[in-house]
């Protein structure tokens, strides 16, 4: 079983021998309710580092007032079993009072990259994410931190913050892990009824459709978005956004002239799901 620490002084003391020995420290930030997507990050850390710290904390400041903070799944004993199976050495699972100490008054606001898409739908979300991620990067002082492409914009926001604030931890982004039918793994998938779970495959299907349309020569973003939207609406999904954006700036693109990120957020029976896929143009049709 991994060793579980709950305070900053404990985790720093636990890491000191590794640091003194010049060993590489890997960090996997999560909100727990671990699935194979999270475990893929742990495996990436195990492969690249000498010791892996898994951060487990449901961060209240990144949830809006009407979001699912109180019902978010909390499954620490099962999480520890899974982490033991992958050989993670340390778990940092702080309580709210350790993360947001009395008088906490500093918040991180990342600029333009945090504004569209999730930023627009979830006001204050990235302020909460950036603040807790900067705090956990400072607490652990890892060599490398591993994030998932599943939360593409989140990873972009964190990269921006780390570059702007000279955080020395290297940020690596790992591919999305999916269920056999294409649904991206998510801690929120447990909210889905069997019927909603079946309909949730529409997210992946709409991304696949976008990929096929682009591979077939379609360059009109509006037309691709309409097709994706139809697939989602047919599954009775409520759409927050469906967009084709520049993978670097996240600005909307139309027409498509180079590598493009298809990105979407929907609610299925009230459960909010996000997904994305990079659409690669055949080499010969890229504009230079
Ligand atoms: P969360 O616990 O949902 O905050 O996610 C913690 C980390 O795991 C984030 O960097 C996510 O992007 C990543 N993650 C979540 N789901 C997946 C997935 N299906 N595949 C790969 N990474 C994921």
CB 59 near ligand 1, within 6 Å: no
Beta-strand ranges (E) seen in the chain are 3-5, 25-30, 51-56, 90-92, 144-148, 170-174, 237-245, 260-268, 271-279
CB 40 near ligand 1, within 6 Å: yes
The HSE-up count of residue 77 (CA atoms within 13 Å, CB side) is 0
Counting from 1 in the atom list of ligand 1, the atom nearest the Cα of 188 is 3
User: What tens digit of pLDDT does each residue of 114-135 get?
Assistant: 999 999 999 999 999 999 999 9
> Is this model's pTM higher than 0.95 or not?
yes
The pLDDT assigned to 282 comes to: 78
Structure tokens at 5: 């620490």
Q: Distance, CA 27 to ligand 1 centroid (Å)?
A: 13
Considering only CA atoms, give the Rg of the chain. Answer: 20
Answer yes or no: are the C-beta atoms of 256 and 219 closer than 8 Å.
yes
Answer yes or no: are the C-beta atoms of 52 and 90 closer than 8 Å.
yes
Residue 288 confidence (pLDDT) above 60: no
Answer yes or no: are the C-beta atoms of 129 and 62 closer than 8 Å.
yes
Residue nearest to atom 18 of ligand 1 (CA): 37
User: What tens digit of pLDDT does each residue of 92-114 get?
Assistant: 999 999 999 999 999 999 999 99
Give the span between the Cα atoms of 5 and 186, in whole angstroms.
25
Q: Which residues contact 163 (CB under 8 A, 6 or more apart)?
A: none
Residue nearest to atom 5 of ligand 1 (CA): 30
Q: Distance, CA 170 to ligand 1 centroid (Å)?
A: 17
Average pLDDT over residues 22-46: 98
Q: How far is CA 179 from CA 34, 152, 182, 184, 200, in A?
A: 14, 18, 5, 6, 11
User: What tens digit of pLDDT does each residue of 145-172 get?
Assistant: 999 999 999 999 999 999 999 999 999 9
User: What tens digit of pLDDT does each residue of 170-227 get?
Assistant: 999 999 999 999 999 999 999 999 999 999 999 999 999 999 999 999 999 999 999 9
Give the span between the Cα atoms of 205 and 228, in whole angstroms.
8
Split at pLDDT 50, 70, 90, the class of 286 is low
Residue 266 confidence (pLDDT) above 70: yes
């Amino acid at each position: 079983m991994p060793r579980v620490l709950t305070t900053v002084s404990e985790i720093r003391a636990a890491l000191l021998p590794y640091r003194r020995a010049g060993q590489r420290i890997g960090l996997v930030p999560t909100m727990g309710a671990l699935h194979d997507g999270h475990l893929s990050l742990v495996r990436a850390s195990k492969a690249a580092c000498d010791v892996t710290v898994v951060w487990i904390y449901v961060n209240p400041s990144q949830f809006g007032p009407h979001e699912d903070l109180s019902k978010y799944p909390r499954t620490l004993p099962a999480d520890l079993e899974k982490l033991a199976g992958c050989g993670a050495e340390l778990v940092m699972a702080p309580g709210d009072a350790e993360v947001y100490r009395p008088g906490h008054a500093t918040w991180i606001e990342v600029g333009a990259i945090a504004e569209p898409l999730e930023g627009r739908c979830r006001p204050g979300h990235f302020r909460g994410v950036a603040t807790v991620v900067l705090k956990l990067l400072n607490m652990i002082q890892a060599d490398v931190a591993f994030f998932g492409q599943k939360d593409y914009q989140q990873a972009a926001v964190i990269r921006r913050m780390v570059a702007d604030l000279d955080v020395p931890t290297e940020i690596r982004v790992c591919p999305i892990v999916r269920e056999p039918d294409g649904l991206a793994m998510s801690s929120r998938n447990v909210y889905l009824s069997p019927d909603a779970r079946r309909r949730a495959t529409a997210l992946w299907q709409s991304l696949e459709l976008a990929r096929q349309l682009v591979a077939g020569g379609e360059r009109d973003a509006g037309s691709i978005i309409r097709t994706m939207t139809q697939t989602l609406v047919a599954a009775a999904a409520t759409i927050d956004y469906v967009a084709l954006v520049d993978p670097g700036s996240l600005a909307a693109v139309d027409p498509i002239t180079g590598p493009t990120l298809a990105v979407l957020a929907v609610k299925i029976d009230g459960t909010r799901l996000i997904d994305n896929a990079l659409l690669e143009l055949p080499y010969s049709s890229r504009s230079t």
